[in-house]
C-alpha cells in the first residue's frame, strides 16, 4: 500500500481560543475549485491515520488533516476536554488555513467532533462524513472508558495494544498490511496517557443525539460491517436522526475503515461533494 510523502503536505499550526497550539497539514489539489475536506482522526491517532485516504483524494480535493489537541504534534495541554472544545479548535484551524467552510469528515472520535462542529458551526459545514462513529456511547459504557483511561495511566499505552489492534482491523488486514498496522500502532504508543485519559472522559460523556435533527447539510454515514467498537446500530441511529443522510455498511471492515477501505471512503466523500 502506497504511503503519502510528507513533502506533499504544507505543515501549519493554529492557536485555539485558549492559546493551545494545533498542528495540521494542507494538501492542495491541482484543481483550484476542488472541494475542501477536513479529516479528523480517531482517539489516540493523529493526521497520519489518513495517509491512505489522502492518497485517494489528493488529486480531486483540497485536504486538511489535523492533529487534535492532546494528540500527535499538537500541544499536549491537559484536560478536561469536550467535543465542543475540539469543534471550536477546528474552527480556529479553518481560520488559519484561510478556509471559510469545508466538508468535515471524521473517524470514531473524529466523527463525534465532526458532529459537534456541524452543530456549533453550521455555516462552515458544507457536508459531513461520519465514519465508524457514534452520537453517544451511552451511560453503560462510562465505566469501560474510565477503566481504559486508568489502565493507560498506571500501565502505559502499551497495555492497551492487544485490545486496540483487534478492534481496529480485521484479521486478514493485519496479516496482509503490516506496515499500515504498524503506523497506527506507532501513533498510538506515542500518546500522552493523561491526554488520552482526558479524551476517554470526553467520549464517555458525549451525547449529541438530541440535536442531530437540526443538521441539514449533505451527510454520509459509514460503518464497517465488523465494527464492534461503534457497531452498525450506532451508525443507523445517526443516519435516522439526520434528514437525507446516506448510510453505507462496508463488508469485511472493522473500526478503522479509512485505513482498511480507503477507496470506499473516498467514494463517500466525493458523494457528499457532489451534493453541494
Q: Would you say domain 6-275 falls under CATH 3.40.50.1820?
A: yes
- Residue 6: CA count within 13 A, CB half-sphere: 5
DSSP string for residues in 78-114: -----HHHHHHHHHHHHHHHT-S-EEEEEETHHHHHH
Q: What pTM was estimated for this model as a whole?
A: 0.96
- Mind listing the pLDDT tens digit for each residue in 191-240? 999 999 999 999 999 999 999 999 999 999 999 999 999 999 999 999 99
Beta strand pairing status for 10-15 and 21-27? antiparallel
- Mind listing the pLDDT tens digit for each residue in 169-199? 999 999 999 999 999 999 999 999 999 999 9
Preceding amide of 80 cis, omega within 30: yes
Helix (H) or strand (E) segment spanning residue 203: helix 193-205
Amino acid at each position: 500500500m502506497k504511503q503519502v510523502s510528507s513533502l506533499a503536505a504544507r505543515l501549519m499550526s493554529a492557536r485555539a481560543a485558549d492559546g493551545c497550539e494545533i498542528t495540521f497539514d494542507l494538501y492542495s489539489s491541482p484543481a483550484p475549485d476542488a472541494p475542501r475536506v477536513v479529516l479528523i482522526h480517531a482517539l489516540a491517532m493523529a493526521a497520519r491515520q489518513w495517509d491512505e485516504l489522502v492518497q485517494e483524494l489528493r488529486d480531486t480535493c483540497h485536504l486538511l488533516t489535523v492533529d487534535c489537541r492532546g494528540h500527535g504534534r499538537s500541544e499536549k495541554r491537559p484536560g478536561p476536554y469536550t467535543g465542543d472544545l475540539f469543534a471550536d479548535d477546528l474552527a480556529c484551524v479553518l481560520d488559519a488555513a484561510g478556509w471559510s467552510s469545508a466538508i468535515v469528515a471524521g473517524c470514531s472520535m473524529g466523527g463525534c467532533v465532526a458532529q459537534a462542529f456541524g452543530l456549533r458551526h453550521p455555516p462552515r459545514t458544507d457536508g459531513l462524513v461520519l465514519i465508524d462513529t457514534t452520537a453517544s456511547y451511552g451511560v453503560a459504557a462510562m465505566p469501560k472508558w474510565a477503566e481504559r483511561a486508568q489502565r493507560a495511566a498506571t500501565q502505559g499505552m502499551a497495555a492497551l495494544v492487544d485490545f486496540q489492534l483487534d478492534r481496529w482491523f480485521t484479521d486478514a488486514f493485519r496479516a496482509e498490511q503490516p506496515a499500515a498496522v504498524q503506523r497506527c500502532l506507532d501513533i498510538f504508543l506515542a500518546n500522552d496517557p493523561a491526554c488520552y485519559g482526558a479524551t476517554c472522559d470526553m467520549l464517555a460523556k458525549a451525547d449529541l443525539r438530541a440535536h442531530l435533527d437540526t443538521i441539514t447539510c449533505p451527510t454520509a454515514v459509514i460503518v464497517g460491517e465488523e465494527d464492534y467498537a461503534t457497531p452498525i446500530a450506532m451508525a443507523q441511529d445517526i443516519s435516522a436522526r439526520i434528514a437525507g443522510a446516506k448510510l453505507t455498511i462496508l463488508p469485511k471492515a472493522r473500526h478503522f475503515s479509512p485505513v482498511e477501505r480507503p477507496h470506499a471512503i473516498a467514494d463517500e466523500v466525493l458523494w457528499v461533494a457532489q451534493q453541494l
